[in-house]
Chain A
Amino acid sequence: MNRMISYENKDTPIHKLSGFTKLVFFLLWCITSAITFDTRVLVVMIIMGAMIYIISGTKWEQVSGVFAIIMFFMVLNILGIFFFSPYEGCKIYGSRTDLLHLFGNYTITSEQLFYEFNVLIKYFTVIPSIFIFLTTTDPSELAASLNRIGIPYTAAYSLEITLRYIPDVQDEFRRIKNAQEARGIEMSSKGSLLYRIKNTAVIIFPLLFSSMDRIEVVSNAMELRGFGKKKKRSWYSQKKLTAMDFATLAFIILFSIGSLVLTFADGSRFYNPFI
């Protein structure tokens, strides 16, 4: 069963925090990481991220697949920056220290290396936080939290209901695929790729139609139980904020402000070791 980066119920301090706290923490954390290029801040964030990851009890198997994909794009990105803008670092830091001439107009400089190192560690501050957030937050609590920060509950609930039906749709997909395969439509690796792509229609259409039937049933069921009647709705799964939540919220707010103050103290987003 494919259960990548999905919620798992465990007993850790991270799981005990309210989804609201985690959502706010996650958003502020990402914003801070996106704005700052201050290496000191980023390094601190990486260390903190690693610690939280360990505390959260997230297993490597839960996230390894997605991690590999992100890594692939990260390497592409890093190489891309170098090839499209080999002297970006020099522009930013206002100096140029050549290390190695490659070919044509491409020379590796300390400034460029340092800049790309910063890009790299920015990724590493954000990636664990995504994993931790998704694996420790109960989807329905997440919906409740989204609603709490001002997202309409109909939108928040549609997220929850999507998550609710993903396993069902996966099962259905498998059943349809099996039945079509038994009819002679090869979907395993024995058929050529082109042939398989052409034949996905025999799975997709039935899946689509039966999903539409399901949507009708579900939306009737929701309406019959009063969904959408009032402007506001309460949430069974919403956790009350505890002292720990307030402490965490206070911490992340202060941390974000502190980081940005430190970052912009010298008038630039970048920490410049080359002066």
Chain B
Amino acid sequence: MREPIIEFKDFSFKYKSQKEPTLKNINLKIYPGEKILFAGRSGCGKSTLAHCLNALIPGSIQGDISGNLRVCGNDPGKLGVFGMSKIVGTVLQDTDGQFIALTVAEDLAFALENENTPQDELFEKVGDVAKKLDISDLLECAPGELSGGQKQRVSLGGVMVCDVKILLFDEPLANLDPATGKRTIELMDDLCKNDDMTVVIVEHRIEDVLHRDIDRVVVLSEGEIVADMTPDELLCSDVLSTHGIREPLYITALKAAGADITPDTHPQHIESMLIDPYKENVIQWFHKTERQKSETCDDTILEIENLCFSYDGINKTVDNASFKVKRGELFALVGKNGAGKSTLSSLICGFNKPNTGRILLEGADIAELSIKERGERIGYVMQNPNQMISKTMISEEVGLGLFVKGVPQDEITRRVNETLKICGLYPYRNWPISALSFGQKKRVTIASILVMKPEILILDEPTAGQDYAHYTDIMEFILKIKKALGITIMMITHDMHLMLEYTDRCIAMADGQLIMDAKPFDVLTDEAICDRAYLKKTSLYELSLKCGIDDPSEFTARFIDDERRRRKEACDEQNDIL
């Protein structure tokens, strides 16, 4: 039997600031060359487990450890963060944070520079790594000039120069668009195969990680390992759904169709899965499931006409965009980073002025309105709530916009309370904001915009970095306010599940142009569009074709309708209990 490269023995850890241990009695062996996925919802301890591997625990983060941990025969606690950095290469979630130096080459060299490696050797090793990762042409580039995928490669290169034995990825997909995420997974797989590297991935987006083979998935819940099995076994069990982790969509669909999935059909990848045993189930289910009629409204609230914008006068960031938005619509603006989504929304909010074209709000041109005047009608919520919050108390923060507008105090109080009730924040109104979770802070920022009674709400990446449970929370909240206030909502997003399940319409952008404006299930089953907008075709597409259903878009639509129905029932049930 081989020796494990990582071994946890009765390992527990408690953060200094917490009463309960975050990791309880972990027993886990990982062998050289294995590719392991740590999955679980936020707060389950998966990141804590990863931090024990690179010695951030106990090096930078203090707490009580009991039990044993061996990495490559060493005790990380004794070697410390520096010592472990030669064995375990950590790629952080935030590639911007990971990119330390001013150019790609210097960033790749960073770890070696710290080893006081002679310059000739630096040049040689940086050259080698750059070649391996196919970034030789980018060596002189500054971080701002790179795409998300390129930054990810640089991050990876920066830890690979040290000839590490283990690569540790902390939520590598969180900030990437679906297509780039897919490529990152492919890259990780190739590296692992070629270099006999042990790879540990911490991620809750299971379907995306399983795009390539994984040896084992370790599922954590409340600090304990609840499953340690091959992906095939895992997908056949109900471990994922019971622990609040999202299953791959095709698995959910198969289960919804009543199929009893078994490991011998290799459900890890939809492409190579043996679908024959389940075909009948799926086809039957498809025929008996009905599409719900969606209500449409014909009242146009926002109209974009031939909008063009360029930052430098040469490249058009927004190129002749035209579309109409109906009152009460919830739609998604999608496309890769730099496709022009954010610029388009900044044109609508008035942060930038279009070169040509018009924006009509309820039929009237808003070119003359200032940012502030537009803001009263079009609310804009930034991605990170910390970028918006400036007050210490919730009610103060929510009332800020009204306060500066000079609204009388009693009316402020009334409107703030009303908004807080809609947003489910009323019980916390006198809490300090610092005591809130990320999701609650997000609600506060949305509430602080809603209090202004805008007609349109623009949300920039509302669910970025959130796990399935929190994400569902935020989205249900958004649906609720949409229903309560009849507000029109535009979301900028990378998340395909979000588009599919929650939006009525999807506008895809690439290179500044609108390339498709359709129902989400039509967009996500169109291969050409998905390629251009850096989206990924939904796995339901493959599933329906494999089952001989030749209208994947209809199949997807019916599945999503069915999902929504079931989610609604689950929600109502929960409300009944409460």
Give the most central of A184, A201, A214, A217: most B CB within 10 Å: A184
Given contacts A179-B387, A218-B97, A222-B100, contact A188 B370 (CB under 8 A): yes
Q: Report the separation of the CA atoms of residues A222 and B159 in the bound assembly, to the nearest whole angstrom.
A: 11
Number of A-B contacts (CB under 8 A): 172
- 0/1 per residue, B503-522, Cβ < 8 Å to A? 00000000000000000000
Q: Report the separation of the CA atoms of residues A214 and B98 in the bound assembly, to the nearest whole angstrom.
A: 10
Q: Report the separation of the CA atoms of residues A159 and B349 in the bound assembly, to the nearest whole angstrom.
A: 36
Q: Report the separation of the CA atoms of residues A140 and B113 in the bound assembly, to the nearest whole angstrom.
A: 12
Given contacts A206-B388, A220-B60, A225-B159, contact A238 B349 (CB under 8 A): no
A183: CB under 8 A from chain B?
yes
Q: Report the separation of the CA atoms of residues A160 and B81 in the bound assembly, to the nearest whole angstrom.
A: 23
Of residues 387 through 420 on chain B, the ones whose CB sits less than 8 Å from some CB of chain A are 387-390, 400-401, 404-405
When distances are taken between beta carbons in the complex, the residues of chain B under 8 Å from A140 are 101-103, 106
The one of B111, B126, B384 in contact with A226, judged by C-beta atoms closer than 8 angstroms, is: B111
A163: CB under 8 A from chain B?
yes
When distances are taken between beta carbons in the complex, the residues of chain B under 8 Å from A206 are 386-390
Q: A19-27, A43-51, A229-237: which lies at the B interface?
A: A229-237
Q: Are A176 and B82 in contact (CB under 8 A)?
A: no
Q: Are B97 and A182 in contact (CB under 8 A)?
A: no
Q: Report the separation of the CA atoms of residues A21 and B527 in the bound assembly, to the nearest whole angstrom.
A: 57
Given contacts A206-B386, A221-B92, A225-B111, contact A182 B119 (CB under 8 A): no
Of residues 154 through 194 on chain A, the ones whose CB sits less than 8 Å from some CB of chain B are 160-161, 163-164, 167-168, 172, 175-176, 178-186, 188, 190
When distances are taken between beta carbons in the complex, the residues of chain B under 8 Å from A232 are 116
Given contacts A226-B115, A236-B106, contact A184 B401 (CB under 8 A): yes
When distances are taken between beta carbons in the complex, the residues of chain A under 8 Å from B381 are 179
Q: Report the separation of the CA atoms of residues A209 and B378 in the bound assembly, to the nearest whole angstrom.
A: 26
Give the shortest distance, in Å, between A161 (CB) and chain B (any CB).
7
Q: Are A236 and B100 in contact (CB under 8 A)?
A: no
Give the most central of B85, B103, B387: most A CB within 10 Å: B387
Given contacts A224-B56, A225-B158, A237-B106, contact A182 B114 (CB under 8 A): no
When distances are taken between beta carbons in the complex, the residues of chain B under 8 Å from A220 are 56, 60, 92, 97
The one of B92, B118, B159, B382 in contact with A234, judged by C-beta atoms closer than 8 angstroms, is: B118
Q: Are A185 and B111 in contact (CB under 8 A)?
A: no
- 0/1 per residue, A225-266, Cβ < 8 Å to B? 111111011111110100000000000000000000000000
Q: Are B372 and A184 in contact (CB under 8 A)?
A: yes
What's the tally of chain A residues with a CB closer than 8 Å to chain B? 54
The one of A178, A184, A202, A229 in contact with B452, judged by C-beta atoms closer than 8 angstroms, is: A184
Give the shortest distance, in Å, between B273 (CB) and chain A (any CB).
38
Given contacts A140-B103, A178-B349, contact A183 B375 (CB under 8 A): yes
A223: CB under 8 A from chain B?
yes
A231 to chain B: closest residue by CB: B116
Q: Report the separation of the CA atoms of residues A106 and B81 in the bound assembly, to the nearest whole angstrom.
A: 69
Chain A residues at the B interface, C-beta cutoff of 8 Å = 138-140, 160-161, 163-164, 167-168, 172, 175-176, 178-186, 188, 190, 199, 201-203, 205-206, 209-210, 213-214, 217-218, 220-230, 232-238, 240
Chain B residues at the A interface, C-beta cutoff of 8 Å = 54, 56, 59-60, 81-82, 85-86, 90, 92, 94, 96-98, 100-103, 105-106, 109-119, 122-123, 126, 143-144, 158-159, 162, 346, 349-351, 370-372, 374-376, 378-382, 384, 386-390, 400-401, 404-405, 448-449, 452
Nearest 3 pairs between A and B by C-beta? Answer: A182-B375, A217-B97, A236-B109
